[in-house]
Amino acid sequence: MSLLSTIGTRFLDYFKVLPMYCLPQHSLTSIVYKITRIEHKAFKNFIIRNFIKYYNVDMEQAIWKNEEEYSSFNDFFTRYLNPDARSWKKDNSLILSPVDGTVSQIGTINNDKLIQAKGIDYSLAKLLANDIDAVKAFQDGSFTTLYLSPRDYHRIHMPVSGKLIKTIFIPGDLFPVNTASVRTVDGLFARNERFVSLFETELGLVAQIMVGATFVGSMETVFAGQITPTKHREITIKEYEEEKIIQLNQAEEFGHFNMGSTVILLFEKDKISWEENLKESDPIQVGQIIGKII
């Protein structure tokens, strides 16, 4: 790409994202939240039918294939797949993709820095709300950022088996997480609203992080229920004691986005190696092998 072309692309990216600095991100997201739960038959069927057409959603993979079978747009958006739509190779020596989507970034954490996009990085400490133990555990570790597009399956699964030890809800902005935003908004994933889940596993500490975005700020997990939207907009830490053991096995459902966004995985240093042929912009499917335990 020529210098002129690069400058032009960057200008267009800023132009696309600029309005999001001015718009009421959370208010707009709340409106979309309510609209997607409307159960009026004609209304929800119209939205679902046109969404499928616009985004070319493959409904043959879904358990319910007709818009009539969904109670609301959100019911459709969080649809389940046919049991045979994905192949799972459950193996404790492998790291499986927790989602359908695209690899936004994949690689190694450079001390405290993760790559957001070419020429842009962000702080591990900010991503984890300065949780000292977690930051120390993941320094120089491995990470991948996985983007879920509107057409993707939006349920999230476990990449490895683990025992939940802590969650951190971190309120923040709700910028889009599309390509233009990733290339222009500094520290995007460390400033958007997010929910960090820390698991104790056979390979040490593992983090699975759900990142919210514009219109897609609603997140749920199987163990905490709906996390956002919430009126309590402050950092909330919950530790899981021995009497409240939550064990999630590899491939089990972890949660879902009520609309789509991004999942970030963090692993400790020298614990895993990513698949050699996996690179930025590659499509992935839930259950696909993305790494191996060293």
Contact 172, 158 (CB under 8 A): no
Catalytic residue at 157?
A: yes
For residues 150-179, give the mean pLDDT.
Answer: 92
More confident position, 16 or 251: 251
104 pLDDT exceeds 50? yes
Model pLDDT, residue 119:
81
Annotated catalytic residue, options 97, 104, 197, 261: 261
Which one of the listed residues 26, 154, 157, 256 is annotated catalytic?
A: 157
Strands (E), the chain: 94-96, 101-108, 113-117, 120-123, 142-147, 155-157, 162-170, 194-201, 204-211, 219-221, 225-228, 236-239, 247-248, 253-257, 262-267, 272-274, 283-284, 289-293
Give per-residue pLDDT as tens, 176-223.
787 778 888 889 999 999 999 999 999 999 999 999 887 665 789 999
Top-confidence range, 4-18, 35-49, 211-225: 35-49
What are the residue boundaries of the structural domains of the chain, listed by start?
Answer: 3-77, 94-293
The residue from 13, 72, 100, 181 that is catalytic is 100
Q: Is 71 a catalytic residue?
A: no
Parallel, antiparallel, or unpaired for β 204-211 and 94-96?
unpaired
Q: Is the pLDDT of residue 54 over 60?
A: yes
